[in-house]
Amino acid sequence: MKEALLVIAGYVLGSLPFGYWLPRAVRGIDIRAVGSGNVGASNVWRVCGARLGVAVAVLDIAKGAAAALLGRYLGDELIGVLAGTAAMAGHWRPLFLGFGRGGKVVATTGGVVLALAPLAGLCATGVWIVVFLAFRYASLASLVAGLTLPLFAVGFAASRPVIGFTIAAALAIVALHRGNIRRLVRGEERRASFSVRARLRLFAASL
């Protein structure tokens, strides 16, 4: 029973739609009606600017980490993986948005991995930052970071449940970015717009 409650708690944590709540509170915007309609940090960044986008990303990372840590310390590592997976499902189809369209689980996945395999998570985060600053495609950065995540998990000798989670997460990230992949291939994907100087500031702030 305790294990089931921890997984349910993970789903509820993942369902907290910060990408919807923050733009609504700060700008009076329904993020689902503008940009890509996605409630993830990338769409918030494009529509509302870097500050709100980064705030949403941090909160989405935090809820994934909280779900995994809660499961791990009140259960065990496998429950941490299951609670983290439930948080990803909650982010994708949030309870608080009537199980409607949520985000593409990248930041929430990052939080889960940072909680369960910190070194692998930090390396994948570094990959995301480098690819994003180099090419200015959040979707490309997410895809490359997601696909390298299992490699880092294996490289840092993560447990089998965690490695299995990273493989499943990488596949989920690719599946949820199918439209982005098609646009990248056609050269139609939108780049993040900021100057070289701003990119250097962001890179320095990430170190």
Q: Which tens digits make up the pLDDT trace of 142-153?
A: 999 999 999 999
- Check residue 200 and give its pLDDT: 44
Residue found by looking up tokens 């509820």 in the block: 12
Residues in Cβ contact with 207 at an 8 Å cutoff, skipping those fewer than 6 apart: none
| Contact of 107 with 60, CB cutoff 8 Å | yes
- pLDDT attached to residue 175: 94
Q: What is the predicted pLDDT for the residue at 136?
A: 87
What the block records as the tokens of 174 is 């690719």
3-state SS class at 189:
coil
Q: How far from the centroid of its chain's Cα atoms is residue 42's Cα?
A: 10
Let me know if 79 is exposed, middle or buried by CB neighbors in 10 A (0-12, 13-18, 19+).
buried
CA dihedral sign, ordered 91, 92, 95, 97: positive
Please report the pLDDT score of residue 49 as a whole number: 87
Q: How far is CA 113 from CA 104, 108, 118, in A?
A: 16, 9, 6
What integer pLDDT is reported at residue 16 of this predicted model? 97
Listed as ranges, residues in the chain with pLDDT below 70 are: 193-207
Nearest to 166 by CA among 180, 147, 181: 147
CA distances from 154 to 5, 37, 129 (A): 30, 35, 21
